Each structure stands twice: as structure tokens, then as C-alpha cells.
């Protein structure tokens, strides 16, 4: 036996709202399809928007029928969670921030409430008041569900982009027969250094490379952790039978390394990628000489 | 560390040379099943090899308990190496690089610690030692194969 | 799931002679006792025979822990005392990363990518590009 507290929605009102959402699904869906949230996401056809609205109304109706108005995790939301996530994702890609999306969800309450009031002969009656309250609570819960899925989408998006960045930003280039190089660009953190190391070592095997060049011309700063990773990469390459050369250490970075007290003395270094390549070619006994001039030379 | 779910996968004896090999093979398999990348597998198997040898040589034998960990979407493994040997008298010293009583390079404990996310030692003089390591599978993008 | 009981000792690792070069191919999981026996066998051979170099192919080895690393380093040191040079060939990337993480950089060993390079380095070139000593 439950004693209703003040402002608590009686179960009968929740059930009534559930039944109302089912009965008036078509009318509400027609109104929601014009609301910003649905209109901007489902741009192909209005029918598509109406269908999406109906799916959400089905879910809301099921949740209300079970009296679980405030339960964000109610099983009734299950079937539309994916759809809501895609909608939130689509809005955020269009530049709408979470607060904006929340407002757009909140804006759906108006049209539904107006229809609900119309169901009662006396909109100021106790029962009408309870039902409006039930719908308000339910729509508040929907807003939370959308926010939740939107945040989940955002996290997934960030994670996906992070992974892509790691892959894209660390290509291993086959410079010459038996010579591979990694031109590093941007800030190196621990995860990326790890990826660079593994990619380079794998390339040494697949390319049968006796020389590997790590070019850090495009790296703005080197802290002690990154310097350690560089040294570990060089040491691991040596264990495999390849010589690893670090090129492009800019003066500022060289100073930082000295200030950090890191001893890079055991690592072969060269000023530039070109110097490193020339050194490696010499080591292999390959002479590169300037041939006859070609290209944009006036005759 | 918040671990919501775990199951004991296996309990393997450590009493001989071939037991060490068996521990390495078993750890390799469960690490692969838990989604560990090749480098992580190798690090974990190497750490397990170091610690199992400690259990055999210093602890006079014992066993290893392999537990699969799950925390949300993260997968991990916990390995506990248990012996009832003499215990470690000076733990700080035992954790130092190059310190050895067993004729190795003295990298058993300190080396293993560098290969895993977490290493704890519980030792009582005269009663035995339990070394527990925990490793979580990290999601690393694999390099694309060159044509 | 249980290891076989009372297992016979693992067979010794074969040491092949190619002229004055000893070739050892390590495969799979090497038992501690087999590693120690190998170390002993190589020392005997280098002392008895006119051996100029020892090539250890570890491309088939998935794990090198500090024990095996010590054995490899000691093989190299012993061979050097007896005027033979030891070359380690084909270490896998994951093994190399793990050894470096352990702090084991094996400075006493010459390293190469594969057995062909090792033989070329020792002047027993069957064919292939000019050899080079791996690393510093």
C-alpha cells in the first residue's frame, strides 16, 4: 500500500498517459515531425520523421503503462535507444551542443501537453492536473535518456577519432631497399610512441630493413618519457639486427634533452632525414652521384 | 581498482622445469583469448616466466592461479604465484635491479614489475610468498600490412 | 589441462657445423635445462673444434626471459674467450620490445635480421648483400 506524497504521480495517471500516447500517437507524431529535433535529423522525407516519432511514442507509452515514469533505464526505452543515439549524434555533428539538443527534446512537451489537455472537459480538474504532471515527468525522463545516449555517442566518437589519428599519424615509409623511415609529426604521447615503436619494428621484419630512421623534425617538444621511448625503440631495433637512427633533432629539443639530463649518447643521430639517408646509403656501399641535370634546366 | 567481475580460470602447479614451460603456454593462450595484442602477450608471458621461476627456485615450488578480470568493457588477467617457502627477507632489496640470490640476472621481480600494470608482493618469513600481477588488455590499432 | 607427469627430459638442441661456423636453431619453448645443456655443448665444441663463429637463430622463439637472455649472453662471452664470434639472428619484434623493457639490451651480442646475414657477416657468404655488424 503506497501513500502518495505531494507531487507524486498516481499510477492511474501514468497508465492513463500511456493509453493516451498510444491512442493519439498519429496526431502527436504529426506535430513532433515538424519540431526542430525530428525535422533537422530526418531530412529525406517527412514520413520518415513521422515514423521515428511513432517509435519514440511507442516507447514512451510502454514506459508509462508500466508506471516507471522516472526510470531512465526502463526496458520500454530499449527499442528506441539506438535511434535516439543516432539522432543525438546527427545533431551534434550538425553543430548542436548537448544543451541545445536537450532544449529540442524539451520542446516536444508542448504539443503533446496541448493535445492531452484537450482530452478533458475540465482541464483544471484534479485528474487533468495529475495527467499533465505524469506527461511532464515522462518527457523529462526522455530528455535524460537522450542526453545519456548523446554522451555515449560523443565518447565513442572521440575514441574512434583517437584510434584513427594513431593509425594515420604514424606511417612507416619504405625509403630504399632495406631502409625504412617514420617521419613523426605532432606531439608524441606514451600511447603514440608505443604505436610508432611497434609499427617500426614490424616494418623492419616485413621489409627486411637493416636500417630504420626515426625523423622527429615535426615533433614540437620532447620530454623525458618520449626520449625514453626513442631510446627503447633504438635498443629494440638493434636487438632485431637493425640500426636505428634518429634524425631532425632541432636545437631547442637538443637543449631540452641536455637539460633533462637524458643521455642520448648511445643513439646514432643525424641533423636531417636527408643526412640520415645519405649516411645509411654510404654504410651500404651505395654511391649516389649527381647525374646529368634534368627537369627545369634551361638549354 | 574497480573490478566488477572475475572468474578463476585455472590453477597450475609449479614444481619442475616442464611446469614452467606449461605455465608459459597456458598464460600465452589465456592472454590471446582475453584480447591481448602480440607485444602484450609476450610481456605477460615473460613476466609469468620470471615469477614462476622465482616460485620454483626461491619458494621451493608452489602454484599459479590465473583469473580473468572484467571491468566494463575492459578485459584483464590476474596471476598469483603462491609458494610456502622461506619468504623474502628484504623486499626492497629483492625489488632492486641486479639483486640476485638465484644465479640469474637479478631481474626477476623488478623486471616483471616493468612488464605489467600492477605487481604486489605479500611475503611472510618462514611462511611463504605470494606475488600477484595484473594486466589489462590495451586497445592498440594494428599497423596495416603493406602490399 | 594438466601437464603430463614424469615427462622425459627435453631432447638437446642440435648444434650443426657449417665449416667453422656452428649453427643453432632455437624453436618454440626452451626448457631451462635444455638451455643450460646447449650452453655447455657450445662451449665444448668451441673449445675442441676450430670454430670461428656461432650463429644462434631465434626467429622461432616467442619468449626470451632473463634466464634465457643470461644463457645467450654467457654463450657469447665464453665463445669470445675462445676467439669465436657469436651472432644472434632473427629476434622477433615483441621479444625485442620485452627485453628492452626488462632492461636487457644484450650489448655483448652481435645481432642480425636472419641467418643469411649472420653467415655473410662471418664471411661464409652463400650469396646475398654485403654484411654489416648489427648495431653499435
Q: What is the DSSP code string of chain C?
A: -PPPSSPPPPPPPPEEEETTEEEEEEESPPPHHHHHHHHHHHHHHHHHTT--EEEEEEEE-S---HHHHHHHHHHHHHHHHTT-EEEEE---HHHHHHHHHHT---TTSEEESSHHHHHHHTT--SSSSPP-----
The order of strands in the sheet holding A179-185 is: A173-176, A179-185, A211-218, A243-247, A269-270
Q: Is domain C17-121 annotated with CATH 3.40.50.880? A: no
Which range of A21-35, B102-116, B126-140 scores highest in mean pLDDT? It is: A21-35
Say if residue C88's pLDDT is above 90: yes
- CB pair distance less than 8 Å for C10 and B46: no
Domains and CATH numbers, chain A: 11-165 (1.10.490), 173-283 (3.30.750.24)
CB A154 within 8 A of CB A86: no
Smallest CA–CA distance, residue A36 to chain B, in Å, is 35
d(C-alpha A30, C-alpha A25), whole Å: 9
Q: How confident is the model at residue B144 (pLDDT cuts 50, 70, 90)?
A: very low
Smallest CA–CA distance, residue A295 to chain C, in Å, is 33
Whole-number pLDDT of residue A44: 80
User: Between chain B and chain C, how many beta carbons pairs sit less than 8 Å apart?
Assistant: 77
Q: How confident is the model at residue A170 (pLDDT cuts 50, 70, 90)?
A: confident
Whole-number pLDDT of residue C132: 44
Taking only the tens place, the pLDDT of each residue in C19-54 is 899 999 999 899 999 999 999 999 999 999 999 999
Looking at the partner chain, which of A208, A210, A238 has a beta carbon nearest the beta carbon of C132? A210
- CB pair distance less than 8 Å for B10 and C10: no
The distance in angstroms from the start CA to the end CA of chain C is 45
Looking at the partner chain, which of A241, A242, A243 has a beta carbon nearest the beta carbon of C89? A241
- CB pair distance less than 8 Å for A203 and B143: yes
A194: nearest CA partner in chain C: C97
- CB pair distance less than 8 Å for C97 and B43: yes
ipTM of the complex: 0.86
Span C50-78, mean pLDDT?
95
CB C18 within 8 A of CB B13: no
d(C-alpha A130, C-alpha A116), whole Å: 11
Whole-number pLDDT of residue B147: 37
Listed by start position, the domains of chain C span: 17-121
Q: How confident is the model at residue A220 (pLDDT cuts 50, 70, 90)?
A: confident
Smallest CA–CA distance, residue A160 to chain B, in Å, is 11
Beta pairing class for B74-83 and B62-71: antiparallel
Chains that touch A (3 or more CB pairs under 8 A): B, C
Q: Alpha helices of chain A — where are they, by DSSP H?
A: 11-23, 25-32, 36-41, 46-65, 78-93, 98-106, 109-118, 126-168, 190-206, 224-240, 251-259, 273-283
Of the listed ranges A36-40, B97-101, C64-68, C105-109, the one predicted with least confidence: B97-101
Higher pLDDT, A299 or A52: A52
d(C-alpha B115, C-alpha B110), whole Å: 9
The CATH topology of domain B5-136 is: Heat Shock Protein 90 (3.30.565)
Say if residue B107's pLDDT is above 80: no
Q: What is the DSSP letter of B145?
A: P
Whole-number pLDDT of residue B143: 39
Say if residue B101's pLDDT is above 60: no
The order of strands in the sheet holding C110-112 is: C15-18, C21-27, C53-60, C85-89, C110-112
Say if residue C103's pLDDT is above 50: yes
- Chain C residues touching residue A230 (CB < 8 angstroms): none
Could you tell me if B49 lies within 8 Å of chain C, comparing CB atoms?
yes
Whole-number pLDDT of residue C7: 59
Whole-number pLDDT of residue B24: 96
Q: Which of C34, C74, C102 to mutate to test the interface with B (most CBs of B within 10 A)?
A: C102
Whole-number pLDDT of residue B100: 57
Q: How confident is the model at residue B141 (pLDDT cuts 50, 70, 90)?
A: very low
A266: nearest CA partner in chain C: C136
Say if residue C95's pLDDT is above 50: yes
Taking only the tens place, the pLDDT of each residue in A113-139 is 999 988 888 888 888 888 999 999 999
H or E element, residue A10:
none
Q: What is the DSSP letter of B2?
A: -
Say if residue A172's pLDDT is above 70: yes
Beta pairing class for C110-112 and A179-185: unpaired
Could you tell me if C117 lies within 8 Å of chain A, comparing CB atoms?
yes
Whole-number pLDDT of residue B145: 37
Q: How confident is the model at residue B103 (pLDDT cuts 50, 70, 90)?
A: very low
Could you tell me if B33 lies within 8 Å of chain C, comparing CB atoms?
no
Percent of chain C with pLDDT over 70: 85
- Chain C residues touching residue A179 (CB < 8 angstroms): none
Looking at the partner chain, which of C32, C62, C103 has a beta carbon nearest the beta carbon of B42? C62
Smallest CA–CA distance, residue C121 to chain A, in Å, is 12
Interface of A with B (CB under 8 A): 163, 166-167, 172, 174, 191, 194-195, 198-199, 202-203, 206-207
d(C-alpha A77, C-alpha A276), whole Å: 61
Say if residue C136's pLDDT is above 50: no
Taking only the tens place, the pLDDT of each residue in A40-52 is 888 888 888 898 8
In the beta sheet, which residues pair with residue C18? C21
> How many CB atoms lie under 10 A from the CB of residue A26?
11
Q: What is the DSSP letter of A77?
A: G
User: Between chain A and chain C, how many beta carbons pairs sit less than 8 Å apart?
Assistant: 75
Tracing cell 535516439 back to the chain, one arrives at A84
For chain B, give the mean pLDDT. Answer: 83
- CB pair distance less than 8 Å for A202 and B143: yes
Q: Which of A181, A189, A202, A239 to mutate to test the interface with B (most CBs of B within 10 A)?
A: A202
Which range of A259-273, B58-72, B86-100 scores highest in mean pLDDT? It is: B58-72
Which range of A88-97, A177-186, B43-52, B106-115 scores highest in mean pLDDT? It is: B43-52
Taking only the tens place, the pLDDT of each residue in A56-105 is 999 999 999 888 888 888 888 888 888 888 888 888 778 887 788 888 99
Of the listed ranges A86-90, A176-180, C59-63, the one predicted with least confidence: A86-90
Q: How confident is the model at residue C134 (pLDDT cuts 50, 70, 90)?
A: very low
- CB pair distance less than 8 Å for C93 and A202: yes
Task: Report in angstroms the alpha-carbon separations of A42 from A57, A83, A184, C67, C125.
Answer: 16, 11, 42, 64, 70
A174: nearest CA partner in chain B: B146
Looking at the partner chain, which of B21, B97, B104 has a beta carbon nearest the beta carbon of C103? B97
Listed by start position, the domains of chain B span: 5-136
For chain A, give the mean pLDDT. Answer: 85
Q: Name the pTM for this structure.
A: 0.69
Span C81-97, mean pLDDT?
95
Amino acid at each position: 500500500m503506497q501513500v502518495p506524497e505531494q507531487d507524486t504521480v498516481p499510477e492511474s495517471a501514468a497508465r492513463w498517459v500511456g493509453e493516451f500516447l498510444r491512442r493519439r500517437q498519429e496526431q502527436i507524431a504529426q506535430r513532433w515531425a515538424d519540431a526542430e529535433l525530428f525535422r533537422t535529423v530526418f531530412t529525406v522525407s517527412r514520413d520518415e520523421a513521422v515514423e521515428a516519432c511513432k517509435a519514440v511514442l511507442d516507447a514512451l507509452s510502454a514506459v508509462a503503462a508500466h508506471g516507471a515514469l522516472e526510470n531512465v533505464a526502463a526496458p520500454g526505452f530499449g527499442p528506441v535507444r539506438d535511434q535516439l543515439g543516432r539522432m543525438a549524434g546527427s545533431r551534434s555533428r550538425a553543430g548542436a551542443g548537448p544543451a541545445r539538443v536537450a532544449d529540442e527534446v524539451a520542446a516536444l512537451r508542448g504539443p503533446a501537453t496541448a493535445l492531452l489537455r484537450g482530452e478533458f472537459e475540465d482541464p483544471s480538474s484534479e485528474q487533468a492536473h495529475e495527467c499533465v504532471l505524469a506527461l511532464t515527468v515522462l518527457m523529462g525522463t526522455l530528455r535524460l535518456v537522450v542526453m545519456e545516449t548523446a554522451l555515449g555517442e560523443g565518447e565513442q566518437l572521440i575514441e574512434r577519432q583517437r584510434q584513427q589519428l594513431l593509425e594515420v599519424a604514424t606511417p612507416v615509409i619504405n625509403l630504399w631497399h632495406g631502409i625504412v623511415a617514420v617521419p613523426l609529426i605532432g606531439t608524441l604521447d606514451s600511447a603514440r610512441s608505443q604505436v610508432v615503436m611497434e609499427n617500426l619494428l614490424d616494418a623492419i621484419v616485413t621489409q627486411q630493413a637493416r636500417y630504420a630512421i626515426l625523423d622527429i623534425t615535426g615533433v614540437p617538444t620532447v620530454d623525458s618519457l618520449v626520449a625514453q621511448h626513442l631510446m627503447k625503440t633504438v635498443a629494440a631495433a638493434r636487438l632485431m639486427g637493425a640500426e636505428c637512427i634518429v634524425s631532425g633533432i632541432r636545437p631547442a629539443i637538443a637543449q631540452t634533452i641536455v637539460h633533462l639530463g637524458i643521455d642520448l649518447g648511445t643513439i646514432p643521430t643525424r641533423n636531417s632525414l636527408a643526412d640520415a639517408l645519405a649516411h645509411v646509403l654510404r654504410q651500404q656501399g651505395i654511391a649516389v652521384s649527381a647525374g646529368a641535370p634534368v627537369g627545369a634546366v634551361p638549354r | 581498482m574497480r573490478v566488477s567481475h572475475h572468474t578463476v580460470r585455472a590453477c597450475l602447479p609449479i614444481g619442475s622445469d616442464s611446469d614452467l614451460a606449461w605455465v608459459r603456454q597456458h598464460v600465452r593462450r589465456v592472454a590471446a583469448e582475453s584480447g591481448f595484442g602480440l607485444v602484450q602477450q609476450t610481456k605477460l608471458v615473460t613476466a609469468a616466466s620470471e615469477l614462476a621461476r622465482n616460485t620454483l627456485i626461491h619458494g621451493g615450488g608452489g602454484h599459479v592461479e590465473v583469473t580473468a578480470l572484467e571491468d566494463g568493457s575492459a578485459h584483464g588477467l590476474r596471476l598469483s604465484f603462491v609458494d610456502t617457502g622461506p619468504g623474502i627477507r628484504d623486499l626492497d632489496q629483492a625489488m632492486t635491479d641486479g639483486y640476485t640470490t638465484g644465479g640469474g640476472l637479478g631481474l626477476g621481480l623488478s623486471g616483471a614489475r616493468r612488464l605489467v600494470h600492477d605487481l604486489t608482493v605479500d611475503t611472510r618469513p618462514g611462511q611463504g610468498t605470494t606475488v600477484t600481477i595484473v594486466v589489462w588488455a590495451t586497445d592498440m590499432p594494428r599497423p596495416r600490412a603493406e602490399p | 589441462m594438466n601437464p603430463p607427469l614424469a615427462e622425459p627430459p627435453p631432447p638437446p638442441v642440435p648444434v650443426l657445423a657449417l665449416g667453422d661456423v656452428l649453427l643453432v636453431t632455437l624453436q618454440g619453448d626452451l626448457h631451462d635445462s635444455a638451455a643450460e645443456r646447449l650452453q655447455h655443448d657450445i662451449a665444448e665444441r668451441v673449445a675442441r673444434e676450430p670454430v670461428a663463429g656461432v650463429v644462434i637463430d631465434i626467429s622461432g622463439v616467442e619468449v626470451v626471459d632473463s634466464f634465457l637472455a643470461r644463457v645467450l649472453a654467457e654463450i657469447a662471452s665464453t665463445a669470445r674467450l675462445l676467439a669465436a664470434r657469436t651472432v644472434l639472428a632473427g629476434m622477433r619484434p615483441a621479444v625485442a620490445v620485452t627485453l628492452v623493457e626488462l632492461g636487457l639490451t644484450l650489448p655483448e651480442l652481435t645481432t642480425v635480421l636472419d641467418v643469411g646475414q649472420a653467415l655473410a657477416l662471418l664471411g661464409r657468404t652463400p650469396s646475398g648483400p654485403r654484411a654489416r655488424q648489427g648495431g653499435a
